[in-house]
Copies of this chain bind each other. A is one copy, B any other.
Amino acid sequence: MIIVLKKDATREQVEHIMEKVESLGLKPWLSEGVERSIIGVIGEEDMLRALPLEGFPGIEKVMPILKPYKLASKDFKPDPSEIDIGGGIKVGGNRIIVMAGPCSVEDEESLIDIAKKVKASGASVLRGGAFKPRTSPYSFQGLGEEGLRYMAEAKERTDILLVSELMDVRNLDLLMRYADIIQIGARNMQNYDLLREVGKSDKPILLKRGMANTIKEFLMSAEYVLSEGNPNVILCERGIRTFEDYTRFTLDINAVPAIKELSHLPIVVDPSHGTGRWSMVSAMSRAAIAAGADGLIIEVHNNPEEALSDGDQSLLPEKFEMMMGGLRKVAEAVGRTI
């Protein structure tokens, strides 16, 4: 931690700060310059964070040096983590994992049909929402457990893995029972109670980046899960809020190499929600893989026109099949398989 002092900080103020730091058992050193003096404190930054230093008289600003996350960082674990999601499939290795399916689960028959088709095209995981976060209370909110049962049936028939979103801690048992991967949605990225609960299991967690959250905060939310004992966190970039309005969000492909620099956790990309436009899904999926993503999560619907949510951003199975062909070539170009 570097504490930058105000130009006019008094001797008393400086001493007071030094004492405070020392009272935590830390060793501060004062470095006096012509224009500004600073106090440095190396190590145990967490303890210092508890002090509201920026409010102390005589202090201009405080600059942390260490990353606020530990278990999620590459310092802690330099090699990439591979998360076993069942069926011998791992996210984070050489093979790029594709998750595909409708935004919401709507009926059993069409879900099984989609599951068969996306599996045939190369997807390993079926996505489908049983509980849906909808901006409007008047929109379709999902089928609940019934939707999960349809997913289970699709798994039974096609041997595909399942990912589904948990929104309410009261449905944790339900999701634990049905899903192979539990998704924490963007709107709940900082729902810390939910993070702690899923951290108590060892179920793989697909943690989506909040639409207003920095990469650092994203890793801090992963830290919540990891610090409870669950190492199986798969990060998911799904678009951030910016002023651009042609796309629904700005899918931040930069997050892929950034996270590869900072963390050992795998990162997948959701171009369907990230752009909100099905016409851009193929191009952005290719970009994600080229940038180093470990997987994709794509909305596919056999009848987007009838979809009860987010049909605007869904691909038809045939378009998905075609897209997968293109992705295979890009994966190969970067030395991976799909």
Q: Interface residues, chain A, CB within 8 Å of chain B?
A: 2, 4, 7, 20, 29, 31-38, 40, 42-43, 46, 49-56, 63, 65-66, 68-69, 75, 133-141, 167-170, 187-188, 190-193, 196, 210-212, 214-217, 220, 223-224, 227-228, 240-247, 250-254, 256-258, 260-262, 274-275, 277-280, 283-284, 286-292, 304-305, 307-308, 310-314, 326, 329-330, 332-334
CA distance A291 to B212 in the complex (A): 24
> Given A190-B135, A242-B242, are A52 and B214 also a contact pair (CB < 8 Å)?
no
Q: Say which residue of B55, B137, B250 sits within 8 Å of A252 (CB atoms).
A: B250
- CB nearest to A53 among chain B residues: B312
B192 to A191, Cβ gap below 8 A?
A: no
B191 to A65, Cβ gap below 8 A?
A: no
Most buried by B among A2, A243, A256: A243
> Given A42-B31, A168-B193, are A254 and B280 also a contact pair (CB < 8 Å)?
yes
> Given A330-B333, A333-B330, are A292 and B283 also a contact pair (CB < 8 Å)?
yes
Give the chain B neighbours of A241 by CB distance below 8 A: 212, 241, 243
B167 to A133, Cβ gap below 8 A?
A: no
The 3 nearest A-B residue pairs measured at CB: A52-B311, A212-B212, A33-B42
Give the chain B neighbours of A191 by CB distance below 8 A: 167, 187-188, 191
- CB nearest to A257 among chain B residues: B283
Give the chain B neighbours of A253 by CB distance below 8 A: 251, 253, 284, 287
User: Nearest-CB distance from A68 to chain B (Å)?
Assistant: 6
Most buried by B among A2, A278, A314: A2
CA distance A34 to B43 in the complex (A): 6
B214 to A246, Cβ gap below 8 A?
A: yes
User: Nearest-CB distance from A236 to chain B (Å)?
Assistant: 16
Q: Say which residue of B167, B246, B332 sits within 8 Å of A333 (CB atoms).
A: B332
In the assembled complex, 27 residue pairs joining A and B whose CB atoms fall closer than 8 Å, in A order, are A31-B40, A35-B75, A46-B136, A52-B310, A55-B305, A133-B192, A136-B223, A137-B228, A168-B193, A170-B170, A211-B212, A240-B242, A244-B252, A245-B245, A246-B258, A247-B254, A253-B253, A254-B274, A254-B275, A254-B280, A261-B280, A286-B291, A287-B291, A326-B333, A326-B334, A332-B333, A333-B333
> Given A190-B133, A333-B330, are A138 and B46 also a contact pair (CB < 8 Å)?
yes
Q: Say which residue of B43, B220, B284 sits within 8 Å of A254 (CB atoms).
A: B284
User: Nearest-CB distance from A197 to chain B (Å)?
Assistant: 9
A50 to B140, Cβ gap below 8 A?
A: yes
A193 to B214, Cβ gap below 8 A?
A: no
A330 to B49, Cβ gap below 8 A?
A: no
A244 to B251, Cβ gap below 8 A?
A: no
A65 to B291, Cβ gap below 8 A?
A: no
Additional A-B contacts beyond A55-B305, A210-B212, A286-B290 (18; CB < 8 A) = A29-B31, A52-B305, A53-B312, A55-B311, A56-B305, A135-B217, A137-B224, A187-B190, A212-B212, A214-B243, A214-B245, A242-B242, A245-B245, A246-B262, A250-B254, A251-B253, A253-B287, A261-B279
User: Nearest-CB distance from A18 to chain B (Å)?
Assistant: 14
